[in-house]
């Protein structure tokens, strides 16, 4: 049985159909990429999956449970983690404290008034940081980290409650080429080791083709193609609306001009 | 690169820029001639946008100089730079969503300038026929491609001699990108100097005369588009993963 | 029937004047993103200047309306002057600094007005030609009211045309959305902002000038009107002029009819309406969701560190000094120290929600006052003892914070600040207006400590114990998971929600906690003074708290302690002078413009790093 089953998901804003009849399934341990031009509805899809937006119609079954109508916090507790396009971390805390915060919430301790937060779940936090190679920076202030390190920190925060599914919104946006490869290799290895599933959006086609088991292409709110990297690469419709006629995706990922 | 400084429309020499402690630009130099399209290439975060913002006075430079039509514009207020005839089309379009198409154009309107083409809404609607059909539509109700057209048209209302285009193809459907290529050629014919920041190399090759490659805030390569095509190793070194 | 119509028309007339003030406030906010407390001062200056001009000019219709126009334009010019000399410097400052700075202007203008026009209320003339009344359905309606009823919509139309049919208006609306872009399109922002200030302050001046025949010019006008104007702007939607009109009519009518039903608590009704509107539409009737402001700017705060042994020893030394103080100091000093301690707890509780919580409260005095009044009323009506009184104080304050906080945490930024201010104004108006119960302006007297604590020295020790206990507790909470979650929410609301933390609940509880400790401070205060007056709940008391926190530096946990100490000492020195407000306002402006990190931040720069617990890395960066 698939971990995530999305069926005829739709959403419109003021008469504009942002997402139209989107259906797909995601198996445990699978990395699924969602690609398409800006404004195609990728972020809207994401926001419906994690409860920030309420879908107009459709169902989302996660591990057999309906997610539509649940708020983001409940969905998180069911085992779905999330990273953002622009990293969202706690700048005024140390790296370790960032992870401890997620652990404190997972263990429902955020209303505790007396014990020191910095002493709580320290080993667990260090283990998570080690997993993403950030342990040596555990005591540094998060506010002074390099962007690539912030991305890794965010990943370990998202993994803190042992999620079964990770939603990653443009995980490599704003990173240097080498950093992109390192980060996605890290994600791939975590997927292999833990059987976690990943659904991600991405603009960098090299990342997409190298690190996804399957791809879906969204255009004007609809899925116009789904399949393996090769199938998508050779799909005429996808070439026409997104990848372009030439071999533009080794240099850029946006629409191409037919020269 | 032999560059005749005297004749350059836009001349950037040795500028630096910082965000807090982090150095974003380090000794960036290049120039753009009238009627020339130069593509600023590089990855996200390489410093392309910051270069343009520094040229527009939105980010202060601590070193070097930026000259435009022979006089220094470095660290002047943005509006003064614009009034001198340097137009700026920002990343992500930044149109005024509450204002109609006509009102957006009104905000960009400046007096006529000697030696620069004069733009009126009517003339712009010839270049962007779509916009002419939605004069009273609020910017917020337009598609990404239409907004990008409006953003360029709005800047042209200032009758610039040179124009900075920051990632105009970002997230735009290919068919609109094709139109954009046509637009840029039209501007070139009008004698404008165009500096284009791009990640889509294909598009950049199609419209530009020369390329400037930036990485980690520094210029790594400058040359004609033809030279770049003849040396794929340069492209692979700086632009591909 | 006629009576109700008369009441309705009175409401509309008041709405007109309120609209003039509120629309100016809204316009200035829309473009500059500054919530201008001094807008009430512009209103007051409009009334005073109109008074002066009427005296100077020939009497008659022309003289009167000429004076009104001259006064408005003069206020407009004062606005321009302030924009150029002050506001321009703080456009990029965090909103809290802006709010406090504009309050500094309020203080300065109050004293200047006192110096120029004196403390007596000045009764203006009736408008020539409009002295009489028209009978409508048998009820006399003042002609001047009818004129005002016409004026409001006329100004609305004028402003609408100005904004929608002129190039200036188009530029202003564009700048409201994206100032930087407007500038990059060749528009001189500075000049645009100055002109917006001119229009906004002229409208406030006009509001004050036309009010003169209905209301004497007085030094209380500024803060009275600003509270209502804030309510109107928040209900209407920040930056929306038609919204301000709708809300003015709503509030004007609410006051006109509310006074028939609950004469004492009309402001409470306004608050309730505001609360309902904000729950249904958090950005006001005609406002836009994006009007919520950015958070405090500047580099991120450093992670919390525990005290180093050296600074812990220093603090223990300070506590030791405070313990022996009564043996070496005279009684006057002991009383002063008691005051300082009480305000330190007040400031620390405020800092708790503002610093770690990131919620700007502009009405923290409400909880101080609720504690004080709660205890005092219990003593007065139930005759409870001091210990019970000191228990009641935080309970009452906590309940108040529970109620107000529920609404407040639903908002953020400037809306939040305004709602907290409105909440404080409500409690103030209840204390001030509900004379039968609270004694109104005469306050409640004779609240003395129990026999065993009546000695100044004993009461000092009691205060020391509670204040230090309170501060220690708050500090523990800041370092505990609760405080961490609060700070996390301030740093990234997106991320805390994405790790399963209910930020609103977290902030709500923090609000209550801060209220409880402010309540303890209020309880201690009432027993130390033996009395309580509505002043302790007024805006200026809330601002005192803010200034203490700012003076100490918002990023430092020690800040509020240093701030309360220096503030109380300064206040003790300055308030004996005639024109203390102008000095105080000057100090506020000095802090905001010259030393925005506060005294603690300033000292931190000077002190050696081992004292402040900075790591080497931070010291280098």
d(CA C35, CA A171): 38
Instruction: Answer yes or no: is pLDDT of C118 > 80.
Output: yes
Query: Which of B20, B79, B97 is facing C188, going by the closest CB pair?
Result: B79
Contact: B107, C188; criterion CB under 8 Å: no
* Least trusted range by pLDDT, from A50-59, B158-167, C35-44, C411-420: C411-420
Write down the mean pLDDT value for chain B: 88
Counting the structural domains of chain C, the total is: 3
**Tokens 């501007």 found at:** B187
Copy the structure tokens of residue C619. 């010291």
Contact: A109, C481; criterion CB under 8 Å: yes
Interface of A with C in 39-68 (CB under 8 A): 50
What pLDDT score does A59 carry? 94
Confidence band of C552 (pLDDT split at 50, 70, 90): confident
Q: Does A86 contact chain C (CB < 8 Å)?
A: no
Q: Please compute the mean of the pLDDT values over residues B192-201 and round it to a whole number.
A: 88
Task: Decide which of C291, C312, C341 is a domain's last residue.
Answer: C291
Identify the CA nearest to A158 among candidates A102, A198, A238.
A102
Q: Please compute the mean of the pLDDT values over residues C515-522 and round it to a whole number.
A: 97
Q: Is A4 helix (H, G, I), strand (E, B) or coil?
A: strand
Identify the CA nearest to C291 among candidates C345, C246, C236.
C236
Confidence band of C538 (pLDDT split at 50, 70, 90): confident
Model confidence over C351-362: pLDDT tens digits?
Answer: 999 989 989 898
Q: Please compute the mean of the pLDDT values over residues C162-170 and round it to a whole number.
A: 95
C contact set with B (CB within 8 A):
167, 170-171, 173-174, 176-178, 180-189, 288, 299, 621
d(CA C150, CA C142): 13
Neighbours of chain C (3+ CB pairs under 8 A): A, B
Confidence band of B13 (pLDDT split at 50, 70, 90): very high
Model confidence over C57-70: pLDDT tens digits?
Answer: 888 888 999 999 99
What pLDDT score does C600 carry? 65
C136 and C254 housed in the same domain:
yes
- Give C584-597 as a 3 state SS string: HHHHHHHHHHHCCC
Neighboring chain B residues of A246 at a CB cutoff of 8 Å = 202
Query: Which of B58, B98, B103 is facing C184, going by the closest CB pair?
Result: B58
Confidence band of C1 (pLDDT split at 50, 70, 90): confident
Neighboring chain B residues of C182 at a CB cutoff of 8 Å = 107
Neighboring chain A residues of B19 at a CB cutoff of 8 Å = none
What pLDDT score does A249 carry? 42
> In sequence order, which ranges of chain A are alpha helices (DSSP H)?
42-49, 72-79, 95-106, 122-131, 147-159, 177-194, 205-211, 229-233, 236-238
Copy the structure tokens of residue B188. 């070139």
d(CA B10, CA B56): 12
Q: Does B61 contact chain A (CB < 8 Å)?
A: no
Please give the residue that has the higher pLDDT: either B226 or C108.
C108
| Contact (CB, 8 A) for B12 and B72 | no
Contact: B79, C189; criterion CB under 8 Å: yes
C515 and C423 housed in the same domain:
yes
Domain for residue C182, yes or no? no
Confidence band of C264 (pLDDT split at 50, 70, 90): low
Neighbours of A170 (CB within 10 A): 19
C275 and C364 housed in the same domain:
no
Q: Does A160 contact chain B (CB < 8 Å)?
A: no
Instruction: Answer yes or no: is pLDDT of C291 > 80.
Output: no
Among A46, A92, A158, most C C-beta atoms within 10 A, so best to mutate, is: A92
Domain for residue A103, yes or no? no
Query: Which residues are bridge partners to B32 per DSSP?
Result: B10
C516 and C464 housed in the same domain:
yes
d(CA C614, CA B236): 44
Write down the mean pLDDT value for chain C: 88
Neighboring chain A residues of B20 at a CB cutoff of 8 Å = none
What pLDDT score does C606 carry? 62
Residues in chain A, how many? 259
State the ipTM, two decimals. Answer: 0.93
Contact: B169, A254; criterion CB under 8 Å: yes
Domain for residue C314, yes or no? no
Domain span at C90: 2-151+187-291
What pLDDT score does C503 carry? 94
Model confidence pTM above 0.90: no
B contact set with C (CB within 8 A):
20-21, 56, 58, 77-79, 82-83, 88, 90, 94, 96-99, 103-104, 106-110, 154-155, 158
What pLDDT score does A174 carry? 66
CA C230 to chain centre: 10
d(CA C485, CA C503): 8
Q: Which CATH number fits domain B8-238: 3.40.50.300, 3.30.1490.20, 3.30.200.20, 3.90.1300.10?
A: 3.40.50.300
Query: Which of C492, C499, C621 is facing A76, going by the closest CB pair?
Result: C499
Domain for residue A173, yes or no? yes
Identify the CA nearest to C543 among candidates C297, C350, C349.
C350
C271 and C394 housed in the same domain:
no
Q: Does A77 contact chain C (CB < 8 Å)?
A: yes
Model confidence over C302-349: pLDDT tens digits?
Answer: 788 888 888 888 888 989 999 999 999 898 999 999 999 999 999 999
Neighboring chain C residues of B109 at a CB cutoff of 8 Å = 167
Confidence band of C607 (pLDDT split at 50, 70, 90): low
Task: Decide which of C291, C314, C338 is a domain's last residue.
Answer: C291
Q: Listing from the earlier edge strand, what are the strands of the sheet with B37-41?
A: B86-89, B162-166, B193-198, B37-41, B210-215, B218-224
C11 and C78 housed in the same domain:
yes
| Contact (CB, 8 A) for B211 and B38 | yes
Q: What is the DSSP letter of C205?
A: H
Domain for residue C156, yes or no? no
Query: Which of B45, B176, B201 is facing A252, going by the closest CB pair?
Result: B201
Model confidence over C7-25: pLDDT tens digits?
Answer: 999 999 999 989 999 999 9
Query: Which of C479, C485, C621 is facing A110, going by the closest CB pair?
Result: C485
* Residue in chain B nearest C182 by alpha carbon: B107
Copy the structure tokens of residue C209. 């000038």
Please give the residue that has the higher pLDDT: either C174 or C426.
C174
Task: Decide which of C274, C291, C308 is a domain's last residue.
Answer: C291
Identify the CA nearest to A124 among candidates A102, A93, A147.
A102
C516 and C556 housed in the same domain:
no
What pLDDT score does A228 carry? 92
Neighboring chain A residues of C484 at a CB cutoff of 8 Å = 93, 97, 100-101, 104, 110, 117
Q: Please compute the mean of the pLDDT values over residues C192-210 and round it to a whole number.
A: 96
| Contact (CB, 8 A) for C551 and C372 | no
CA C552 to chain centre: 19
Domain for residue A145, yes or no? no
Q: Does A110 contact chain C (CB < 8 Å)?
A: yes
What pLDDT score does C605 carry? 62
Neighbours of B98 (CB within 10 A): 16
Residues in chain B, how many? 241
Neighboring chain A residues of B213 at a CB cutoff of 8 Å = none
Instruction: Answer yes or no: is pLDDT of C469 > 60.
Output: yes
Domain for residue C238, yes or no? yes
d(CA C371, CA C516): 8
What pLDDT score does B239 carry? 66
Assign residue A173 the CATH number of its domain.
3.40.50.300
What pLDDT score does C69 carry? 96
Confidence band of C616 (pLDDT split at 50, 70, 90): very low
Confidence band of C601 (pLDDT split at 50, 70, 90): low
* Residue in chain A nearest B215 by alpha carbon: A176
C contact set with A (CB within 8 A):
299-304, 476-477, 479-485, 487-488, 490-492, 494-502, 506, 509, 615, 617-618, 621
d(CA B221, CA B210): 11
Neighboring chain B residues of C180 at a CB cutoff of 8 Å = 58, 78
Query: Which of B58, B103, B110 is facing C186, going by the closest CB pair?
Result: B110
Neighboring chain A residues of B239 at a CB cutoff of 8 Å = 251
Domain span at A60: 4-93+163-250
Query: Which of A76, A94, A117 is facing C481, going by the closest CB pair?
Result: A117
Domain for residue A204, yes or no? yes
**How many Cβ contacts (< 8 angstroms) between chains B and C?**
63
Neighbours of chain A (3+ CB pairs under 8 A): B, C
What pLDDT score does C351 carry? 93
What pLDDT score does A176 carry? 62
In chain B, at which residue ranges do the beta strands (DSSP E only) sit?
10-19, 22-32, 37-41, 65-68, 71-72, 86-89, 162-166, 193-198, 210-215, 218-224
Instruction: Answer yes or no: is pLDDT of C125 > 80.
Output: yes
d(CA C142, CA C130): 8
Neighboring chain C residues of A77 at a CB cutoff of 8 Å = 500
Neighboring chain B residues of A38 at a CB cutoff of 8 Å = 144, 170-172
Low-confidence ranges of chain A (pLDDT < 50): 245-259
Q: Please compute the mean of the pLDDT values over residues C355-376 and round it to a whole number.
A: 94
C517 and C494 housed in the same domain:
yes
Instruction: Answer yes or no: is pLDDT of B5 > 60.
Output: no
Neighbours of chain B (3+ CB pairs under 8 A): A, C
Counting the structural domains of chain A, the total is: 1
Q: How far is CA C211 from CA B17, C16, C68, C113, C153, in A?
A: 53, 10, 10, 17, 16
What pLDDT score does B4 carry? 45
> In sequence order, which ranges of C130-265 are alpha helices (DSSP H)?
143-165, 167-177, 179-184, 189-211, 221-236, 241-261
Q: Please compute the mean of the pLDDT values over residues C150-159 and round it to a whole number.
A: 95
| Contact (CB, 8 A) for C84 and C566 | no
Model confidence over C26-55: pLDDT tens digits?
Answer: 999 888 888 898 999 999 999 999 999 999
Q: Does A224 contact chain B (CB < 8 Å)?
A: no
C57 and C109 housed in the same domain:
yes
Q: Does A111 contact chain C (CB < 8 Å)?
A: yes
Neighboring chain C residues of A101 at a CB cutoff of 8 Å = 484-485, 488, 496, 499
C282 and C366 housed in the same domain:
no
Q: What is the DSSP letter of C440?
A: G
């Amino acid at each position: 049985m698939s971990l995530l089953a999305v069926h005829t998901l739709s959403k419109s804003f003021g008469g504009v159909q942002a997402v139209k009849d989107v259906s797909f399934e995601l198996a445990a341990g699978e990395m699924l990429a969602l690609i398409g031009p800006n404004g195609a509805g990728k972020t809207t899809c994401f926001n419906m999956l994690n409860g920030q937006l309420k879908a107009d119609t459709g169902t989302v079954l996660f591990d057999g449970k309906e997610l539509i109508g649940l708020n983001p916090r409940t969905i998180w507790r069911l085992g779905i983690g999330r990273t953002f396009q622009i990293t969202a971390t706690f700048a005024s805390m140390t790296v370790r404290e960032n992870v401890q915060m997620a652990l404190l919430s997972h263990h429902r301790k955020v209303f505790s008034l007396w014990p020191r937060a910095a002493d709580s779940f320290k080993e667990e936090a260090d283990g998570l940081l080690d997993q993403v190679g950030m342990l040596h920076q555990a005591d540094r202030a998060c506010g002074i980290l390099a962007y690539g390190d912030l991305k890794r920190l965010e990943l370990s925060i998202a993994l803190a409650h042992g999620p079964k599914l990770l939603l990653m919104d443009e995980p490599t946006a704003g990173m240097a080429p080498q950093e992109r490869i390192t980060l996605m290799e890290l994600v791939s290895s975590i997927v292999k080791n833990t059987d976690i599933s990943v659904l991600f959006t991405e603009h960098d086609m090299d990342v997409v083709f190298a690190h996804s088991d399957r791809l879906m292409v969204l255009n004007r709110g609809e899925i116009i193609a789904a399949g393996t990297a090769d199938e998508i690469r050779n799909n005429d419709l996808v070439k026409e609306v997104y990848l372009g006629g030439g071999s533009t995706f080794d240099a850029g990922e946006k629409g191409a001009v037919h020269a | 690169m032999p560059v005749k400084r005297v004749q350059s429309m836009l001349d950037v020499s040795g500028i630096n820029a910082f965000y807090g402690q982090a150095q974003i630009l380090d000794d960036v130099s290049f120039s753009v001639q009238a009627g020339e399209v130069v593509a600023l290439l590089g990855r996200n975060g390489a410093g392309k946008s910051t270069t343009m913002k520094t040229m527009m006075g939105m980010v202060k430079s601590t070193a070097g100089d930026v000259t435009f039509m022979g006089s220094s514009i470095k660290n002047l207020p943005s509006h003064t730079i614009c009034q001198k005839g340097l137009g700026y089309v920002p990343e992500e379009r930044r149109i005024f969503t509450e204002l109609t198409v006509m009102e957006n154009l009104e905000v960009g309107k400046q007096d006529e300038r000697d030696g620069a083409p004069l733009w009126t809404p009517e003339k712009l609607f010839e270049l962007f026929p779509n916009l002419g059909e939605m004069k009273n539509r609020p910017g917020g109700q337009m598609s990404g491609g239409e907004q990008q057209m409006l953003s360029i048209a709005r800047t042209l209302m200032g009758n610039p001699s040179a124009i900075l285009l920051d990632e105009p193809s970002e997230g735009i459907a290919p068919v609109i990108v094709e139109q954009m290529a046509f637009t840029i050629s039209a501007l070139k014919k009008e004698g404008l100097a165009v500096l284009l920041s791009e990640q889509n190399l294909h598009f950049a090759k199609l419209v530009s005369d020369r390329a400037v490659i930036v990485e980690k805030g520094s210029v790594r390569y400058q040359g004609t588009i033809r030279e770049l095509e003849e040396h794929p190793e340069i492209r692979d070194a700086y632009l591909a993963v | 029937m006629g009576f109700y119509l008369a009441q309705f028309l009175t409401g509309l007339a008041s709405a007109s004047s309120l609209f003039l003030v509120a629309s100016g406030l809204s316009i200035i906010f829309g473009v500059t993103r500054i919530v201008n407390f001094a807008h009430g001062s512009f209103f007051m200056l409009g009334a005073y200047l109109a008074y002066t001009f009427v005296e100077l000019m020939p009497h008659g219709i022309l003289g009167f309306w000429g004076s009104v126009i001259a006064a408005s334009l003069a206020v407009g010019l004062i606005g321009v002057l302030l924009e150029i000399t002050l506001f321009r410097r703080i456009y990029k400052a965090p909103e809290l600094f802006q709010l406090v700075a504009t309050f500094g202007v309020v203080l300065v203008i109050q004293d200047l007005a006192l110096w120029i026009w004196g403390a007596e209320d000045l009764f203006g003339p009736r408008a020539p030609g409009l002295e009489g009344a028209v009978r409508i359905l048998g009820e006399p309606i003042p002609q001047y009211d009818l004129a005002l009823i016409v004026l409001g919509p006329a100004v609305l139309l004028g402003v609408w045309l100005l904004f929608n049919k002129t190039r200036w208006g188009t530029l202003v609306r564009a700048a409201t959305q994206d100032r930087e872009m407007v500038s990059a399109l060749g528009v001189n922002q500075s000049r645009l902002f100055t002109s917006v200030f001119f229009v906004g302050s002229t409208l406030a001046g006009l509001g004050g000038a036309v009010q003169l025949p209905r209301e004497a010019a007085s030094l209380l006008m500024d803060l009275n009107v600003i509270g209502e104007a804030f309510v109107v702007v928040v209900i209407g939607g920040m930056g929306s002029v038609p919204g301000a009109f709708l809300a003015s009519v709503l509030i004007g009518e609410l006051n006109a009819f509310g006074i028939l039903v609950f004469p004492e608590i009309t402001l409470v009704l306004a608050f309730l309406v505001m609360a309902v509107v904000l729950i249904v539409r958090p950005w006001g009737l005609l406002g836009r969701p994006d009007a919520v402001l950015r958070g405090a700017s500047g580099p991120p705060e450093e992670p919390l560190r525990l005290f180093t042994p050296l600074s812990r020893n220093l603090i223990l030394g300070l506590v030791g000094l405070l313990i022996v103080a009564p043996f070496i100091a005279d009684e006057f000093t002991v009383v002063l120290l008691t005051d300082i301690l009480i305000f330190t707890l007040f400031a620390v509780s405020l800092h708790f929600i503002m610093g770690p919580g990131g919620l700007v409260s502009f009405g923290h005095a409400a909880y101080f006052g609720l504690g004080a009044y709660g205890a005092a009323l219990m003593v007065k009506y139930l005759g409870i003892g001091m210990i019970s009184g000191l228990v009641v104080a935080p309970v009452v304050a906590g309940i108040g914070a529970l109620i107000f906080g529920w609404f407040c945490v639903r908002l953020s930024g400037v809306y939040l600040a305004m709602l907290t201010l409105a909440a404080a104004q409500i409690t103030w108006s209840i204390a001030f207006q509900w004379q039968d119960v609270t004694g109104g302006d005469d306050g409640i007297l004779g609240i003395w400590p129990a026999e065993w604590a009546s000695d100044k020295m004993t009461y000092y020790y009691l205060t020391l114990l509670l204040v230090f206990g309170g501060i220690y507790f708050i500090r523990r909470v800041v370092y505990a998971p609760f405080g961490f979650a609060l700070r996390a929410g301030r740093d990234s609301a997106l991320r805390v929600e994405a790790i399963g933390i209910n930020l609103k609940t977290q902030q709500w509880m923090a609000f209550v906690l801060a209220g409880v400790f402010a309540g303890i401070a209020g309880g201690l205060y009432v027993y130390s003074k033996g009395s309580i007056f509505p002043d302790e709940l007024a805006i200026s008391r809330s601002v005192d708290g803010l200034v203490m926190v700012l003076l100490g530096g918002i990023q430092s946990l020690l800040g509020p302690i240093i701030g309360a100490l220096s503030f109380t000492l300064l206040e003790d020195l300055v308030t004996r002078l005639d024109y203390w407000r102008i000095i105080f306002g000057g100090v506020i402006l000095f802090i905001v413009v010259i030393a925005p990190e506060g005294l603690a931040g300033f000292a931190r720069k000077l002190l050696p790093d081992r004292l402040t617990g900075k790591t080497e890395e931070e010291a280098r960066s």
